[in-house]
């Protein structure tokens, strides 16, 4: 029986054969969590900046909004939650699970100052969208310059 391994499409394309990736994964990921890498679940996220706000999209399919906590401490936004397992599929001599479950926590540094009031979070179709409005002094000022 062969063990399932995470898919890494670029593995083996570097001259070091992924040794550098393995080193950094052990250094920064394995030291943080006591669970093996195959059992941890960390939702993917995107961070974008507009003229007026920072927008963060977090993929948390199958979760309920009540199972997610969002906090802003200084310039660090933390998203915590728990993805609960719906059911187990068992067959006679094997057990197969590719989806991950459990507690997660993601912290990201927000690159600009934001207003604490007006922060919004909306959950739709498995994606959590967090909007953090920028403080007025960090919004870009547009000055029209006439060229002679």
Q: What angle do CA 5, 82, 117 make, to 5 degrees?
A: 125
Calpha distance 102→82 (Å, rounded)? 5
Calpha distance 26→9 (Å, rounded)? 19
* Residue ranges per structural domain of the chain: 11-40, 43-137
- Average pLDDT of the residues in 103-125: 92
What is the chain's alpha carbon radius of gyration, rounded to the nearest angstrom? Answer: 21
Q: What architecture does CATH give domain 43-137?
A: Sandwich (2.60)
Segment 1-54, tens digit of pLDDT: 445 556 665 555 556 556 666 665 555 544 444 555 445 678 899 999 998 999
Collapsed DSSP state (helix, strand, coil) of residue 24: helix
Segment 54-91, tens digit of pLDDT: 999 999 988 888 999 999 999 999 999 988 776 666 65
Cβ(114)–Cβ(33) under 8 Å?
A: no
Q: pTM, whole model, 2 decimals?
A: 0.63
């Amino acid at each position: 029986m062969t063990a399932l391994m995470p898919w890494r499409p670029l593995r083996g394309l570097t001259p070091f054969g992924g040794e550098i990736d393995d080193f950094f994964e052990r250094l920064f990921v394995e030291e943080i969590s006591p669970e093996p890498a195959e059992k941890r679940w960390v939702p993917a996220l995107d961070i974008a900046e507009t003229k007026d706000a920072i927008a963060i999209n977090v993929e948390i399919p199958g979760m309920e909004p009540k199972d997610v906590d969002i906090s802003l401490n200084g310039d660090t936004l933390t998203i915590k939650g728990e993805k609960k397992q719906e059911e187990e599929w068992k067959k006679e001599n094997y057990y197969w699970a590719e989806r991950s479950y459990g507690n997660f926590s993601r912290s990201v540094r927000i690159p600009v100052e934001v207003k604490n009031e007006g922060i919004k979070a909306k959950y739709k179709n498995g994606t959590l969208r967090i909007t953090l409005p920028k403080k007025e002094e960090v919004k870009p000022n547009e000055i029209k310059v006439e060229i002679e």
